[in-house]
């Protein structure tokens, strides 16, 4: 039998910017008691693992303010804009960050990056048959783009050099697909 649901008694926004909303809820628990619960809301996001050919992928690197790091590679990722489909968002993010258009875009997974306090859904894709175009990064993105052998990227995931969940999951699923296809 599934756990009983909680009931939201009150909800108020305590902070908001174009990318994030933080709200504070009072929720009634199944036993009738109430609790304070903080929720961070983010729009849906997409991540694209772009294959240049069967054995090479494109990765991007940028400064990540929250962790104060600029040395970790990741796949192109970003938020879905209002009115944009998931496929359109994935195409846009790959074009903006890496300067490529995918001819083939395959959805591989949807998941919740953080299930406890962050309300966000991530959608992962594999991009293939890429056509080079001009990169158009957002005004806050200062990116380095590089070509890597897929096996090296897989090893970077296994060694925890790559740590963002979107890239980790996409690389592991792509590796699984490659093994099944053999």
pLDDT in tens, the chain (182 residues): 889 999 999 999 999 999 999 999 999 999 999 999 999 999 999 999 999 999 999 999 988 888 888 889 999 999 999 999 999 999 999 999 999 999 999 999 999 999 899 999 999 999 999 999 887 766 766 788 999 999 999 999 999 999 999 999 999 999 999 999 87
Same domain for 57 and 29: no
Same domain for 50 and 20: no
Helix (H/G/I), strand (E/B), else coil: 96: helix
CB-side exposure of 49: number of CA atoms within 13 Å? 29
Same domain for 160 and 129: yes
**Bridge partner residues of 38 (DSSP):** 24
Stated pTM of the model: 0.92
159 within domain boundaries: yes
């Amino acid at each position: 039998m599934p756990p009983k649901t909680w009931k939201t008694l009150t909800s108020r926004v305590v902070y908001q910017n174009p990318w994030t909303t933080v709200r504070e809820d009072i929720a009634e628990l199944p036993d009738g008691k109430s609790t304070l619960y903080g929720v961070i809301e983010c729009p849906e996001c997409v991540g694209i693992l772009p294959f240049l050919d069967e054995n090479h992928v494109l990765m991007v690197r940028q400064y990540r303010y929250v962790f104060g790091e600029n040395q970790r590679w990741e796949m192109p990722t970003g938020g879905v804009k209002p009115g944009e489909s998931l496929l359109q968002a994935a195409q846009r993010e790959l074009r903006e960050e890496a300067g490529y258009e995918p001819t083939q875009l395959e959805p591989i997974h949807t998941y919740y990056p953080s299930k406890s306090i962050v309300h966000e859904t991530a959608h992962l894709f594999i991009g293939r048959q890429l056509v080079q175009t001009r990169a158009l990064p957002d005004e806050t993105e200062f990116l380095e783009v590089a070509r890597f052998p897929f096996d090296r990227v897989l090893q970077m995931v296994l060694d925890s050099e790559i740590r963002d969940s979107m890239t980790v999951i996409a690389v592991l699923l792509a590796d699984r697909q490659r093994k099944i296809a053999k």
